[in-house]
Amino acid sequence: MKPSVLFVNVVWTERYDGTEIPMGNFRYLKTKRFAKYGASDERLFVQNDGLHYCGLGRGAINVEKLDAVFVAKDPRDNKHRVVAIFRDLSWKTDGKDGWTNGFARSDEVTCFPVDERIEVSWPPGQQNRRWARGGPSNNWPDLLDFYERLNSKLPGSRTRTRSADESQLLELFRSFEIEEQQRMLQQIHRVIRDQKLRPVVLALWGPSCAACGMSLGTQEDLYECEIAHIHQVRDQGADSPGNALPLCRTHHWAFDQHLWGIEAKSKKIFVRSAYRNHPALLGLHQSNLKSVRHGAERNLDETALRIRWKLSLLN
């Protein structure tokens, strides 16, 4: 099934990063629902956990599959140019029959730098948006021809048909609320990072928990310990061996909950006073980190340790 295609008129800025005053008459106000993605008039195309977000403007959206082309009027010559394309997007609306200010999200997005924005002939009349295909009315063949030519030249353009399994998984993913989608994407990203970082960290420390020293593995060399980041990647921590250490699941969880931490200079473990007698943390307070490879703790990033120490309020 071919997607419906909607052209949406938005404000013009050069970077869409929130540092510029937007130009143009068409604005997406920073509503509470949209603001949590960091979006406003001048910051329309916001990335969050692999998904991009943008408003779709006011009007009915009663289609099954949708691509959106965002255009803006260039103040230098008053010509409309394409600033971003969202392909195979999902969307959400507030109100009855979809007649409301909706917002889109997609992981298949192309944003165009200023010098690569392609001119498009915007039809006269209604200025907010135009349906090139599949909308309730006002289908514009010229816009559809323009889009299909442009789409065929983009990196990652559709050169194959999704399998039935892929389509089913995509539909299932879209059925979840946005918060659940973000949680799932975070887990996927974590698995990908772990696959890259895990062998390096285990080579430095050995396959055992740096807190309690437990090593549990199979004959196939599959080990229970997980890779824990000291300064979280989501908070701009480095995805590097110096910012990571192996922990069993119990002590990984307790570390993430700030029940214990590592003093940056001495590299000793400090446990919150309320938990020092808990069976899972008993005996850890002021103990040294444990590793199969001697001196592994010297590789830890002291800046990351200080940041974590401050967050844990253990000082």
Q: Quick one: 125 and 202 in the same domain?
A: no
Q: How far is residue 210 from each of residues 80, 160, 218, 226, 293, measured CA to CA in Å?
A: 58, 47, 19, 10, 11
Decide: helix, strand or coil at residue 165.
helix
Task: Give CA–CA dist 41/37, Å, rounded.
Answer: 13
129, 156, 175: which is the final residue of a domain? 175
Q: Quick one: 89 and 118 in the same domain?
A: yes
Q: Quick one: 235 and 267 in the same domain?
A: yes
Q: Quick one: 127 and 147 in the same domain?
A: yes
In this prediction, residue 65 has a pLDDT band, given cuts at 50, 70 and 90, of: confident
Res 41 pLDDT > 60: no
Q: Quick one: 131 and 111 in the same domain?
A: yes
Name the residue range of residue 256's domain. 178-312
In this predicted model, which residue has the larger pLDDT, 109 or 300?
300
Tokens representing 135 are: 């909308």
Structure confidence by residue, pLDDT tens digits, 217-266: 887 777 888 889 898 876 777 778 889 999 999 999 999 999 999 998 89
123, 143, 175: which is the final residue of a domain? 175
pLDDT more than 90, % of the chain: 19
In this prediction, residue 275 has a pLDDT band, given cuts at 50, 70 and 90, of: very high
Residues facing residue 4 across a β-bridge: 66
Q: Judging by beta carbons within 10 Å of its beta carbon (0-12, 13-18, 19+), is residue 222 exposed, middle or buried?
A: exposed
Res 48 pLDDT > 90: no
Q: Quick one: 154 and 14 in the same domain?
A: yes
Q: Quick one: 165 and 186 in the same domain?
A: no
Predicted TM-score (pTM) of the model is 0.49
Task: Give CA–CA dist 72/83, Å, rounded.
Answer: 7
253, 192, 252, 256: which is closest to 227 by C-alpha? 252
- What pLDDT does residue 21 have? 64
What residue type is assigned to position 304 of the chain?
A
Q: Quick one: 168 and 208 in the same domain?
A: no
Task: Give CA–CA dist 59/69, Å, rounded.
Answer: 16
Q: Quick one: 73 and 221 in the same domain?
A: no
Q: Quick one: 141 and 18 in the same domain?
A: yes
Task: Give CA–CA dist 179/239, Å, rounded.
Answer: 24
Domain total in the chain: 2
160, 175, 190: which is the final residue of a domain? 175
Query: How many other CB atoms are found less than 10 A from the CB of residue 276?
Result: 16
Q: Quick one: 182 and 261 in the same domain?
A: yes
Res 173 pLDDT > 80: no
Buried residues in 106-118 as b, exposed as e (16+ CB within 10 A): bbbbbbeeeeebe
